[in-house]
Amino acid sequence: MKHFTLAVALGLSTQAAFAQDMVSYTTAMDFDDVTFGIENAITDLGLVVDNISHVGEMLERTREATGSEVVLFEAAEVYSFCSAKLSRQVMEADPMNIVYCPYDIFVAQLPGSDQVTVGFRQFPDGAMQDIQTLLDGIVQEAIAE
């Protein structure tokens, strides 16, 4: 959290946005640097990236087949992973918290933009706030300049 607070205090280009169901940050960092940072922040915690969904590539590859002319992303990926310890903790609190597992962080860049957006879904109050704190820490570490 200290990195984000410092960034705001210094007026850097990193900004946070809180939609009703998502937390996201924008940065002027290069897309590849942000994705590299996300992967490192996850693995530095001893966690394993289970899957990287190449959403941007898939949408571009299927654009014509779906009858669209709209290019949605310059690049977009979703990183999925889990923490056995935290998952057990939140599912012991409520087994239906399974709906949130695995945990996802997205990284996206819109066409023509020099900004990269990185974020995750917002979680409900209670035990799932531990997961939201985990994801926020990963994102903040990845975009700390």
In terms of phi and psi (left: phi > 0; alpha: psi -120 to 50; beta: otherwise), the region of 126 is left
Taking alpha carbons only, the member of 139, 89, 85, 93 closest to residue 117 is 139
- The average pLDDT across 118-130 equals 96
- The average pLDDT across 29-46 equals 98
My answer on whether omega of the bond before 102 falls inside 30° of 0, hence cis, is: yes
Q: What is the pLDDT of residues 84-109, one digit of tens each?
A: 999 999 999 999 999 999 999 999 99
Rounded to the nearest 5 percent, the helix, strand and coil shares of the chain are 45, 25, 30
pTM, to two decimals? 0.85
- The average pLDDT across 114-142 equals 97
CATH of the domain at 81: 3.30.310.70
- Domain that includes residue 6, residue range: 2-143
Q: How many domains does the chain have?
A: 1
